[in-house]
Amino acid sequence: MQHIKLIDIGLVKYQQALTIQTEKFDALISRKIEGQSNADSHALILCEHYPVITLGKAANPAHLLCSSDFLTEKNIDVVHINRGGDVTFHGPGQIVGYPVLDLDFFTSDLKEYMRLLEEVIIQTIAIYGLEGFRIPGETGVWVKSIVDHKPQKIAAFGVKTSRWVTMHGFALNVNVLLDYFKFIVPCGIVDKGVTSMQQELHATVLNCAEIKQHIIDNFEKVFNAQLTR
């Protein structure tokens, strides 16, 4: 069983979390280059962010639907980052996970890695009675919304790898204010909306600390079941 260190940094600015995960990411790469083992160096960084819109390498600027002045007025940061994918939003009430893993110990298939991340979220929301599913050709976890009975995205994913070391990861909408997603075309998908656990469960406020623990448990279960070494 691999040791995956949990690092919970709470509610932070996006750049602070990016600095922390980049340091871990660079350290694992350096260890590989030097021929050292990363067996005990994997980490899962969990946090929530102050409002921020992030644009991946393939982001279409047209998917940002409001002006910089408007975003400044609303105290929403905009950050261009080096993950795959389009545009997304992070904010309080959304649990964000940044796995920094050496995939040599888990899987040599990046698509399989994405499916494993999705499985962690599917198993987590199932604890609350929500049936998550995948849509072929689209990364993410979806639910059949209680609002219109159509697929709505409840968790988004985007990663970067170098020398089979990962960074960036997933974002699960728990209690996040969904109005923020009106300022973007989430993940560049124009024909499907975004939802949250709170909305689907008709809840007041869900316990993010409790949900984080379920994510941790499911992450260790899913990834330790895939060990290649």
Q: Residues 6 or more apart from 89 whose CB is under 8 A from it?
A: 51, 52, 53, 54, 180, 181, 183, 184, 186
Identity (one letter) of the amino acid at 103?
L
Q: Residues 6 or more apart from 55 whose CB is under 8 A from it?
A: 61, 64, 78, 79, 80, 81, 86, 87
User: What's the rounded Cα separation, in Å, for the pair 228 and 106?
Assistant: 5
Catalytic residue among 47, 66, 187, 208: 187
Range list of H helices, 130-207:
197-201
Identity (one letter) of the amino acid at 202?
H
CB-CB contact of 143 with 132 (8 Å): yes
CB-CB contact of 100 with 17 (8 Å): no
Identify whether 208 is a catalytic site residue: no
CB-CB contact of 43 with 7 (8 Å): yes
How far does the chain reach from its first CA to its final CA, in angstroms? Answer: 9
Beta-sheet strands, E only, within the chain: 4-12, 42-49, 52-55, 77-80, 87-90, 94-100, 133-135, 138-144, 151-162, 165-173, 193-194
Active site residues: 187
